[in-house]
Amino acid sequence: MKIITLILVILITLILLYRTLIISGVRLPHNNFTDKYIKGSGYASYGGEKVSAKSLVSIGAQALAFRLLIYFVSYLTMVFIADQKADFISWWYKWDASNYIGIADGGYTEITISSGIMGDNVYQTLVFLPLYPAVTWVINLIIHNTMLAALITSTICYTAGIIFLYMAVSLKYNISIATKTVILISVFPFAFYFGGMLPESTVLLTASACMYFSFRKKWWPAGIFAMLCTLAKLQGIVIMIFMGVEWLESNKIFLLIRNKDWKSFFGKLKDIIPMCLTIIGLLIYLLINYYYTHDAFYFLKLQKYVWAHSFADCGTCISNIINTIKDPGTEFNVALAEYIPELILFFVTLYIILRCFARHGSSISVFLLSYTVMSYSADWVISGSRYLSVALPLFIMSAELINKRPVIYRFLVCAGLLLLVVFMYCHTKGINLVV
């Protein structure tokens, strides 16, 4: 399975590279097959639609109402099904939430552990990116309750992220696809993380805003949000690839070079500068590591020796997930709640890319592929499903695919809502390793 996975990923990578180059103006061999099935039509069939301020207010209000409804459903399930009497906020204080709350409360020195390899006073939380706890800290200055501030941060960022995602998809496609996109991402079985004490909501907001401004060719605000996305989650660094491909294709950079249109070429070249702000975000995180430990790459040691993760190719990751599922020592409920979903979602994502890439700009497909591969580039992953909850192009491409298939769309929404409630119950109750 390792070899098959790697071959599939390499094949998709080569197809997308060929497509990006040929659309950007590079002269490459092509024929009717490559023109139809690889180059495709991109956004040709979608002219984009303007969204009124009234519609955006409505979308934001509905997103907020849906998030509050999810909180209410979690309350009902915990009280009437789990018979839990603890306060509502503590139900969301699960797994990695304790680390983000610790950072928001007292910085990266708030939680320390002893490690047989790394010694005493190990700053275990340095593997977590700073944006989400930083925003939580700011809100906590007002309300003086860190866990509640974390939930408020998630709710606000989710609502704003949905608005930006809706604007981005409407701009590039149409309102129908935009509506389906925000609904599909909201009812994704692991979308309850958008309301938890976790950073997925900040990734949703920053990545959606970056996409929106990139589509508008407003590269400086796009670059600022890309930098913030990198500070929200390490996988956010791949949004720089999305911006680069969008810049290449939308400006047909290689065609300008072929035509020796140097004035236009150098005029476009300055747009690379704001894209590099993404690297600034990564450097800030490395500086935080250096400030606390005098080792800019301290988080890599933590991943290996404290969190039992090491970087590896995605083929190794998939192979290890399958072996874990087959292992008699793996509890069935754990496999069902974590390992099986993340395995299925990985291959569903690759299928969506292969099935849909010709009808989209290459930036969308490249973003989805690079984000997915990076999320599964570890020898052991237990949060793959959570990571893919913010793989925005997955929901955009799915919405476009089923835009004129109402039966499939309704099925996905109903099935998503059902699984969302089930997995949220598992998470808030602290069972089944839904992390």
At 291-344, the pLDDT tens digits run 999 999 998 888 888 877 788 888 899 998 898 888 888 888 788 888 888 999
For residue range 346-362, what is the model confidence (pLDDT) as tens digits? 999 999 999 999 889 89
Res. 82 pLDDT band, cuts 50 70 90: low
pLDDT at 433 over 80: no
Question: 372 versus 46: which is more confidently predicted?
Answer: 372
pLDDT value of position 110? 83
- Tokens at residue 319, please? 């192979």
pLDDT value of position 365? 94
Burial level of 36, CB count in 10 A (0-12/13-18/19+)? exposed
pLDDT value of position 332? 81
Closest CA to 66 of 413, 432, 425, 435: 413
Q: What residues form DSSP beta bridges with 231?
A: none
For 115, list phi and psi in degrees, rounded to 5. Answer: -125, 135
pLDDT at 434 over 80: no
- Tokens at residue 177, please? 């696809």
pLDDT at 435 over 60: no
Report helix, strand or coil for 121. strand
pLDDT value of position 2? 85
Q: Are 426 and 432 in contact (CB under 8 A)?
A: yes
- Tokens at residue 135, please? 């925003």
Q: Cβ contacts of residue 345 below 8 Å, gap of 6+? A: 384, 385, 388
For residue range 65-80, what is the model confidence (pLDDT) as tens digits? 999 999 888 888 877 7
pLDDT at 86 over 70: no
Rg, C-alpha atoms of the chain = 22
Res. 162 pLDDT band, cuts 50 70 90: very high
pLDDT at 258 over 70: yes
What mean pLDDT is predicted for residues 220-224?
97
- Contacts of residues 115-119 at CB distance under 8 Å and 24 or more positions apart, as own/partner, are 115/305, 115/306, 117/305, 118/301, 118/302, 118/305, 118/306
Q: What is the pTM of this model?
A: 0.92
pLDDT value of position 81? 72
Neighbours of 348 (CB within 10 A): 13
Lowest mean pLDDT among 123-137, 213-227, 252-266: 252-266
Lowest mean pLDDT among 108-122, 240-254, 416-430: 108-122
pLDDT value of position 42? 74
For residue range 190-212, what is the model confidence (pLDDT) as tens digits? 999 999 899 999 999 999 999 99
The domain spans of the chain are 2-25+55-111+121-429
Q: What mean pLDDT, rounded, does the chain reach?
A: 89
For residue range 15-70, what is the model confidence (pLDDT) as tens digits? 899 888 888 888 877 777 777 777 777 776 677 888 888 999 999 999 999 999 99
